[in-house]
Chains A and B, each alone.
Chain A
Amino acid sequence: MIELSQLTKRYGSTMAVDHVSLTVQPGEIVGLLGPNGAGKTTLLKMLTGYLPPTEGTARVANLEILDNSLEVRRRIGYLPETNPLYEDLAVYESLEWTARLRGMNPASHPPAIRHVIEVCGLAGVVGKDVAHLSKGYRQRLGLAQAILHDPEILILDEPTSGLDPNQQQEVRQLIQTLKQKKTVLLSTHILPEAQSSCDRVLIIHHGKIVADGTPQALGQQAARGSRLLVELKAPAPAAGQALAQLSGVDRVAVQKAYDSCVVFILESAGGADVREAVFELAVQRRWPILGMTQETISLEEVFRQLTMGMPS
């Protein structure tokens, strides 16, 4: 379980993480979404004990991160954004050093290493030097190092960053296999990744959580924001007034007017489908419909709206 209360990190006058409070339940996979510089990495670095918070508290596995930093680090598996690896070591050596540095029981090293080699698909490159690994294998090795000690909490910073689509899919599948046993907090700026891998998505912007919900809930939020583009041959003021009075229509705006035609944007409240009502109104008033297009706001657009339109 991860609990943050008013967690804040300031770099001089820059607020990197701004009073963030949230709870991640055991067994949950939570995606931290946000544009570059939103504060995702800083937030994760505070949870791993790498950076101290300026204000607020955080508890990981029921332990206060500042008071029990060592124990917290024992319970966490962490894949940093840059996935730093020792280039001069071979894959097996890297895992062996990790096991030793983590203070794991020497008798448990070979089975634990064999297990992560199998889970992460590293069998083909065990003897290879890290310096000669492809980006995909490097990411797998980073993940293998993070899960070697079978941590209850996994913190993954951009786990698929820089990978090609096939490699991204492989890493996502790997995260799915870990899902049953672990609490996972991962950061990403790839929306489909958050949608496919996470039970819950948090959108962070300028260090603040601006949206929090399951991918389905955010999808519904997107559906609620559906828009209808209607092109009518009609007098603009009268048509606008009539359309605004239709049940389910939240807002009407004129996108453009030309000759005796107008293009209206209708925003519907609660995701209501108003196409039929518009059609009936047009027939009743004898306003020829030149075009009608339903636009559904995608999760990407919700993300864009939340992260682009906000003041810093």
Chain B
Amino acid sequence: MSFRQKPIFVLAHKELFTLFNSPATYIVCVLFLVTSGWLFVVPLFQFNQSSLDTFLRPLPLLFLFLVPALTMRSFAEEFKAGTFEYLATLPIKDYEIVLGKYFGALGWLAVLLAFTLAYPLALLGVGRPDIGQVTGAYLAIFGLGAFFTAIGVWASALTRNQVVAFIVSFFVCFTLYLIDHIAGFVPSGMAPWVRALGITAHFEALARGVIDSRDLLYWASGSAFFLAACLAVLNSRRWR
């Protein structure tokens, strides 16, 4: 069986196809591109700053809305329409369904992020941006996106209501975003551990261009944890 025939690829393709067919996806994506473009362009022209910083810093906040909006329909819509029963009775393993959905949503996010490559390319035209920093920044963005997508897919498997899926996903992502700020209020011995759980430290380190395997491991293990949780949720639905 070729790679293109593997169920994970076929499902990811199908997910991508569904997202491409949905007007809501385009609305969310246009809103994201307009906001991120504005964040990049305004300092460039107003303050003559040729930096990705103004685009990067608020990105986790933008992702708090963007990623749950992209992933909320993933499983919730299948449950609501009853098509999950169709999927689950095809000769496909549950983990392939989860990964197919995940990679489909991640693929769409990658397409969206490809549009934002216009910003560093624009910087190349007006200055000499640090290629290492740009690479680190995109690794950070993609890592964050991969982690939030896993959370979104998991939240979507919890319910048949897309709005509930969005709220749960947003709440978990927001907690991970806030946790860095909470670290100041916990006993000093615990603070580094609490900070390590949050996304901010890992995102900022990579965004500065410091590529540390611990940060990459954080995104990978966080994504794996929520995908495993998603699989557990699907299994538990069958045993109810």
Contact = CB atoms under 8 A, between A and B. Distances in A.
A84 B83 contact: yes
A82 B82 contact: yes
Contacts of A248: none
A50 B89 contact: yes
B83 A73 contact: no
Interface string A70-87: 110110101010101111
A70 B11 CA distance: 17
Interface stretch (B51-59, B90-98, B200-208): B90-98
A142 to B, nearest CB: 9
A51 B89 CA distance: 10
A84 B81 CA distance: 6
**Range for the number of chain B residues in contact with chain A:** 20 to 34
Nearest to B100: A101
A268 interface: no
Nearest to B14: A97
B238 A88 contact: no
A309 interface: no
Interface of B is mostly: helix
A30 to B, nearest CB: 19
A50 B11 contact: no
Interface in B37-71: none
Nearest to B83: A84
Given A49-B89, A70-B91, A70-B93, A100 B82 contact: no
A57 interface: no
A102 interface: yes
A106 B90 contact: no
B188 interface: no
Q: Classify chain A's interface size.
A: 20 to 34
Interface string A119-160: 000000000000000000000000001000000000000000
Contact of B14 (A48, A87, A101): A101
B7 A103 contact: yes
Nearest to A71: B91
A78 B91 CA distance: 12
B8 to A, nearest CB: 11
A50 B91 CA distance: 11
B10 A80 contact: no
A50 B238 contact: yes
B185 interface: no
A73 to B, nearest CB: 4
A51 B92 CA distance: 15
Given A88-B18, A88-B22, A101 B85 contact: no
A102 B10 CA distance: 10
B34 to A, nearest CB: 26
Contacts of A101: 7, 10-11, 14, 87, 90, 92
Which of A48, A76, A101, A106 gathers the greatest number of chain B CB atoms within 10 Å?
Answer: A101
B239 to A, nearest CB: 7
A270 interface: no
B85 A50 contact: yes
B85 A100 contact: no
A52 interface: yes
B213 interface: no
Interface string A180-193: 00000000000000
A272 B82 CA distance: 51
A45 B5 CA distance: 27
A84 B85 contact: yes
B5 A103 contact: yes
A75 to B, nearest CB: 9
Interface in B8-29: 10-11, 14, 18, 21-22
Interface in B112-162: none
A154 B238 CA distance: 22
A206 B81 CA distance: 28
Contacts of B86: 80, 84-85, 145
A106 B5 CA distance: 8
Contacts of B1: 103
A143 to B, nearest CB: 13
Contacts of B92: 101
10 contacts: A50-B238, A73-B91, A78-B89, A80-B82, A85-B83, A85-B86, A86-B81, A87-B81, A88-B22, A106-B5
Given A50-B89, A85-B86, A86-B81, 8 more contacts: A50-B85, A70-B91, A73-B90, A80-B82, A80-B86, A98-B90, A101-B90, A145-B86
Interface of A: 11, 45, 48-52, 70-71, 73-74, 76, 78, 80, 82, 84-88, 97-98, 100-103, 106, 145
5 cross-chain pairs, A with B, having the tightest CB-CB distances, nearest first: A84-B82, A84-B83, A73-B91, A74-B91, A82-B82
Interface of B: 1, 5, 7, 10-11, 14, 18, 21-22, 81-93, 238-240
